[in-house]
Every structure is written in structure tokens, then in C-alpha cells.
Structure 1
Amino acid sequence: MRIEIVDLPGLRKHRENGLDLRKTVLVGLDLTDPDDDSLLKTSLDGALLLGCTLRPETQRRAHAAGALLFPAVPGLPYEVYRSRLYTPAELFEGFDATQPETYALTPDARIYQHTQEQGHPPDPLHALAERLHDHGISEALDDVLTGMPIAVMGGHALTRDSEGYRGAVELGVQLGQAGFTVLTGGGPGAMEAVPLGVRLADKSGVDDALAVLASAPRFGSGRSVDPAEIGRWLAAGLAVDLPTGEQPRTIGLPTWFYGHEPPNPFCELHAKYFENSVREEGLLTVATGGIIYTPGSAGTVQEVFQDYTQNHYGSVGPAAPMVFLGERFWTEEVPAAPLVRELAKGRPAERWILVTDDAAEAVAFLATYASVE
């Protein structure tokens, strides 16, 4: 197992402990200072240096010693060798709530614009850079997650002034009170309503939060990006006063593939990806405590069957709960639940399928699974 070192204090401690750098991974370090350069005067066989800056003579020695050096890629609006998740403050840096159009200046908007300029698929250089970034995000997500996180899936189209949005917020309150770490797709609609509820902690704050959000009930429409419209939506979200604990309870997994949908400001951290397929499969895989499906469209239905496939074959561990919240929707309007139940007959997954209209029952079902597993 390789040891990953992402800052100079960590490298110094590693060397002070008498350890060499064989099969270590150094990420984004500037090692041109003589004192820092001296830290590399040890065995480097099999070391992996990602985006590090070295003195020319040290670079030659590292190559000769069998190290692999991946250079920094210039001119990109993102860190290729990223080793941590994004905070909303990072994604929205430079945004001025009094000037909503400044959303266009944020790293989130600029990175999306960059992907649009590259086309799909991007050329090999940018494709490789994006894959390396996404690999780092997946590793950072694994480092943050503990216990048995649960995920809530649902559509982006819920407006903040709708009853469905309120219901998703209240579901989040109950999940937060039950102590779950909650993952969502990280975008608008149900994906932001649930994290909002988790962080509100109790229902007493729901009305006040929704009153603040009422000034900007939707982020936009279609696949076009109107920075001012998104900025107004974002400004209203940032105006909600929310507590932040020592450990993140809400993590979003958005994607620049759907970059016209901005990440929401309520998730404490975002694992934002370029490749949507990696993001979707990853979200289903790390939600080891189960998944609640609220009404959604094609993307949510796709996730239902991706999730069930994992449960059917046990490809990523024991079958985890699948909770269909909204009985009429999931049995009549979009009858995915009956098909999943039919496929699960006689299998371990059958026990962990629930169709209900009761959020409290859904939360209790997940809690039961956590206590059993």
C-alpha cells in the first residue's frame, strides 16, 4: 500500500521517522528550496511524484533511481492532482451576492466553461488530466467517509417553494437527528433540500430557511447557463444561517458533465467529478448504509437499477436497503419498485426493499439495517 504525502510538514515528519520514499506518492509539492530538496536524498525506487516541482539535478536523479514523475499541466482552471474534497467556499470563491452575475467568475463556473471549450470527448491531454483529478477526488472521498453513509436520490427540478422540497427538507431533518452521514448528487432540488434539513437539526428552523429561499425558488431552466439567475439562487442559499460541525454530515457528489446545474451551498463538502459515470457508480458504491429514492426522472430511475444490480450480485458487499419514498409514484407513475421486488425474490436483497410514504418509517428502516450490519 502506497503512502500518500500531500504537504511539506507531512514529508518532513515521514523523513524524521527514518522512512525512505520508496513506493510513496508525493502530491503537488514545491521541493526546490535546499532544505526541502534534501528530503529527497534517500531511496526513491518506485516513488510517484505528481505535479511536484524539483531542481533539475534532483529530477534527473529521481528518474535514474526509478521514480515516476508526472508533471503539472499548465493552463488549467483546476488542480489535476487534487487530494481533498471541495468546500462550497472554494467552488464559489469570488462570488458577490450583491452582484449575482459574478457567479460566472467562480472556479465552479470557469471549470465548466473550460470543459465546454474542450468538447466531448476532450483531447488526450485534457482527458488524462480529468481522469487524474477524478481519481484524486475518489480517494479523498474514501478518506472522509466513516461508518455507513446513506444516500438520498431525487430530481433536480424541485423548486424551493414546492411541497416536495419541504418534504425533502423534513426528511433531511429526520436523517440528521438519527445521526446519519448523508450523501446526495450535490445539485439543486431534492439534492440540496435534504442536506439543508440535515444541517437544520430540527423542524423549528424549516419555515425560516424556506422563507429566505423563497426569493430565488429555482436555479434556472434547460441546459443553458444564466450566471445572474444562478447567482440569485446561490445568494439566497448562502443567506441561510446553518451550523457546521467538526465532522461533515452532508457530502454532495455533483459533476461538471451537468455543469449547468450548480452545486448546492448546503452540502458541507463536494466530491465534484468530471466523468458522470464514475460519479454515479461511486455514489451508489459508497452509500453502504442504503439509499432513499425520492420521486425523480430518468437519472433517478437509472440509479435505481444500477443500485439494484450491485445488490443483486453482491458486487460491492452485502445488499443494502433500497427505500422508495412515495408509494404511488414508485408503484404506479414510474413502477420501478415492483420490478425491483420481482428481481429480488429469494435473494438477500429482498429483505431490504421498502416502499413507503412515511419518512419516519424510512429512517427507522435504515437504522435497523445499520444495527444489524
Structure 2
Amino acid sequence: MGSPEGMAKPEEQRLGPVLRRRDQVQPGTTDQRLLDTEGDSEWVHTDPWRVMRIQSEFVEGFGALAELPSAISVFGSARTKPDSPEYEAGVRLGRALVEAGFAVITGGGPGAMEAANKGAREAKGISVGLGIELPFEQGLNQHVDIGVNFRYFFVRKTMFVKYAQGFVVLPGGLGTLDELFEALTLVQTRKVTRFPIVLFGSAYWKGLVDWLKDSVVAGGKASERDLLLFHVTDDVEEAVALVSKEVGR
């Protein structure tokens, strides 16, 4: 084969499944760019390389959690104080879930997450923490027995849903609300089935529930039956009974 030097730039280029034409044609080949040792390290920050990182996070998460028994994901604020009633409720909830035969999955952080992990560990159950890389993250709490740290929120969210049979949501902030509404959307759109969602702490959640009823549903942005996608309780035993009933335990 002759040298490519001096050859006219092709009008069409196929790089695996990618088609490039006209001004979007790139010089050289994929193999050439892979084997070329010259250049800087900026390639590790390109989108195609990120896909490999994302893939590796899915593989690591699936591998670590594939053998979990039935589990419940517990969400809540990282700012919940250890001496607060909410923290104590989280401990009791984690313990009761284990006693009902569930593993407990949390975001692995402090506060309400730590409380649920602590309760699960004290009950000698499986205590799981799915952490996330954040500038202010404190790392996985000491009560986590199986821990996975993620770079990407959406990979972590997949693990919460894939390996849990339901959610119990303690009082929390924006991250907790994000997980809650994603779960509600998945159930509403039937992307998942038989997925109980329990809001723990009626006083805390009352304003949100009223807004959903009086503004969202009343304004025609959701249906009346969407309010049946979740339950509200102040009782640990009831919370466990609700998730157990809906998953057929």
C-alpha cells in the first residue's frame, strides 16, 4: 500500500459505527491514534473514554451487588444529627428491615444513611453503602459492610433501583428529593413494577404531599391515582409492613 502522504482527504469516513463526512472527517485512523505514543493525556477526558469508565462502574456495581438478597433502599439527609429523633428512627428502621429479611442499601454517607446502616449492622444483616464522588463527601460510614463508590450519579441511581425491592424515604434535602421523584416517575411510567415507596415522617412530608394534591394534581399535571404511588407513616413497623406486603414477603 502506498504512503497516505499527499492523498486527498476522503469525503466520507467510517470509524466503527460512527460515520463522518466532509469537514467532520478526522485525519488518520482509530488504530493510528491508539498506537501513537506522541501527544498529551487529554484523551483520557474525552467522551468515548468516559463511556469506558461508565461501563466499568456498571460492571463493578453489578458484580458487587448481584448476590444480594431482597433489599430496601433507605434515603435521608446526610445532615441528620446523631442525637436527633430522626437518626434514632433510621437506626430502628434499619434494624427492623433486617429482621424482616431484607438487606439495607443507603447512599453510604453520614446522617440518616449512617443510621439505617447502623441499625442493619446491629441486627447482623447486610449493610450496603453506595457512595458518590463529591467535593464535600466524607466517605462511606463505618457501618457499611459492602461499599461501592461511584463517579456518576446515574450509575449509582441504577444500582439503588435494580437491587432494591422498595424505598423508604426519611426526611432529607435535594438529593433525597431527587431519588424520591425518580422512583415515583419510574413507577408512574411503569418502568418498574411492584415497587413500594414509603415516606417516613408525616410532619416533614405534609407540605410536599399537600402541594402534590392541591397544585400538581389539581392543576391537571398528574392524576389522582398518582397519589397512591406512595405511603406516609410515622411508625417503623408500619413502614416495614408496607414494603413487605407490596413485595410479597
Superposition TM-score, scaled by structure 2 size = 0.71
> Aligned residue for 2:205?
330
Alignment partner of 1:180 is 2:180 = no
Of 203, 212, 215, 1:339 maps to 212
Of 66, 74, 93, 1:143 maps to 66
1:188 and 1:179, CA in 2 relative to 1: closer, same or farther beyond 3 A?
same
1:292 and 1:337, CA in 2 relative to 1: closer, same or farther beyond 3 A?
farther
1:295-322: CA deviation from partner (whole Å, max 9, x where unpaired): 0001111111100010001113x14111
Cα distance in structure 2, aligned partners of 1:154 and 1:280: 15
Richer in strand (by share): 2
Q: Secondary structure at the match of 2:118?
A: helix
Q: Is the 8 A contact 1:158 1:165 kept in 2?
A: yes
1:132 and 1:285, CA in 2 relative to 1: closer, same or farther beyond 3 A?
closer
When Rg is computed on C-alpha atoms for both structures, the one with the higher figure is 2
Q: Secondary structure at the match of 2:131?
A: coil
- Counterpart AA for 1:257: L
> Aligned residue for 2:232?
355
Superposition TM-score, scaled by structure 1 size = 0.49
Deviation, 1:272, is 1.6
> Aligned residue for 1:304?
180
1:328-353: CA deviation from partner (whole Å, max 9, x where unpaired): 11112xx1576289546346x82x52
* Unaligned residue ranges in structure 1 (runs of 5+): 1-70, 72-117, 202-242
Deviation, 1:129, is 5.1
**Higher normalized contact order (CA 8 Å, seq sep 6+, divided by chain length):** 2
Question: How many residue pairs get matched?
Answer: 202
Alignment of 1:200-211 (within 5 A): 200-201=122-123
> Aligned residue for 1:105?
none
Deviation, 1:260, is 2.3
User: What RMSD, in angstroms, separates the aligned Cα atoms of the two structures?
Assistant: 2.8
> Aligned residue for 2:156?
279
Of 51, 56, 59, 1:133 maps to 56
Deviation, 1:173, is 1.5
Identity of aligned residues (%): 28
Deviation, 1:131, is 1.8
1:36-95: CA deviation from partner (whole Å, max 9, x where unpaired): xxxxxxxxxxxxxxxxxxxxxxxxxxxxxxxxxxx9xxxxxxxxxxxxxxxxxxxxxxxx
* Unaligned residue ranges in structure 2 (runs of 5+): 1-33, 35-40
1:177 and 1:313, CA in 2 relative to 1: closer, same or farther beyond 3 A?
same
Which 4+ residue blocks in structure 1 deviate beyond 3 angstroms?
340-347
Cα distance in structure 2, aligned partners of 1:173 and 1:277: 28
1:290 and 1:173, CA in 2 relative to 1: closer, same or farther beyond 3 A?
same
1:137-177: CA deviation from partner (whole Å, max 9, x where unpaired): 2321452223x321111011112233321221111111121
Deviation, 1:189, is 0.9
- Counterpart AA for 2:198: V
Deviation, 1:355, is 0.6
Q: Is the 8 A contact 2:195 2:247 kept in 1?
A: no
> Aligned residue for 2:168?
292
Q: Is the 8 A contact 2:97 2:240 kept in 1?
A: yes
